Amino acid sequence: MSPHRVSIDSDICIGSGQCALTAPSVFDQDDDGFGVVRSGSEDGAGDPMLKEAVRACPVQAITVEEA
């Protein structure tokens, strides 16, 4: 699998938590409940659920770019 660069647009995120539920090795929630990429997991951490987490985001705030 190619390395990726994963990010969440904090201006779009509504804090649904779907990313953290779907791919907890890549995503977490901050103190306010908004999605964040876990430190050290900006490459997707090889998580097979990464693409599903992107699809699960109700506001499409997650971007995955080929690195």
Give the rounded distance of the alpha carbon of 46 from its chain centre.
Answer: 12
How confident is the model at residue 56, as a pLDDT? 97
| CA neighbor of 61 nearest in space, from 34, 43, 42, 41 | 34
pLDDT digits (tens, 9 = 90+) for 22-58: 999 999 999 999 999 999 999 998 999 999 999 999 9
Asked whether 33 and 15 are in contact (CB, 8 A), the reply is yes
- Cα–Cα distance measured from residue 66 to residue 54, given in angstroms and rounded to the nearest whole number: 14
- Cα–Cα distance measured from residue 56 to residue 67, given in angstroms and rounded to the nearest whole number: 22
β pairing state of 35-37 and 27-29: antiparallel
